[in-house]
Amino acid sequence: MVRDTTEGYGIVSRLFHWVMALAIVAMFALGWWMVGLDYYSPYYKSAPDLHRSVGILLLIALLFRLFWRMVNVRPDDAELSNFERLAAHATHWGFYPLLIALMVSGYFISTLDGRGIDVFNWFTVPSILEHKGWEDAAGKVHEILAYATMALAAAHTAAALKHHFVDKSRILTRMWSGPPPA
């Protein structure tokens, strides 16, 4: 099934979810590792280039994912308590502004000096705002948002595992394998 149904998520939503989840965790790990690199490391330039390129692609994917979510039905959440339903909605919709702010702050770290971001030599995203000296502030915001993203992802994962193993519900299954066969 391509599209989402009230019974589960279609393949497009599931691919967006799992590929982006893995990429975001990998980006966090890469960012955490690369800030410790010194000037003489062979990865001093290539690690940030990779981080920036993947970040731009993730921003594009996030915008497509948001559009896809808005044009699809949402799987039924009647099995959740009112508190769980409210927490799930807050978490899911909290990810979008958090991730957009994370990616925009990353963009500003690299472009506030007036240079664009070269994305894998495929295209360049130009600088839209030049304000030299603000890169460090953008970097601090980016770091805080990255840790907040990981905290929200950990809570999201813990809730999914609780629903799966404790409640024995299909919450995780419908994002893993989609709607049940007809």
Any idea where the domains of the chain sit in the sequence? Answer: 11-176
Residue 75 token pair? 């799987």
What residue spans of the chain are helical by DSSP H?
A: 11-34, 46-70, 82-111, 135-161, 171-176
Amino acid 3: pLDDT? 94
Amino acid 167: pLDDT? 94
* Residues 130/113, Cβ–Cβ less than 8 Å: yes
Amino acid 95: pLDDT? 97
Give CA–CA dist 160/4, Å, rounded.
Answer: 18
- Confidence bin at 109 (pLDDT 50/70/90): very high
Bridge partners of 102? none
Question: Which has more confidence, 49 or 1?
Answer: 49
Residue 119 token pair? 């994305």
Kindly compute the dihedral angle of the four CA atoms of residues 31, 120, 14, 34, in this order, to the nearest 10 degrees: -10
Amino acid 146: pLDDT? 98
Amino acid 181: pLDDT? 80
Interval 46-66 mean pLDDT: 98
Residue with the two structure tokens 């044009």 = 71
Amino acid 180: pLDDT? 84
Task: Name which CATH class applies to 11-176.
Answer: mainly alpha
pTM: 0.94
Interval 71-80 mean pLDDT: 93
Alpha carbon distances (Å) from 83 to 75, 91, 114, 151:
17, 12, 46, 19
Does the pLDDT at position 179 exceed 90? no
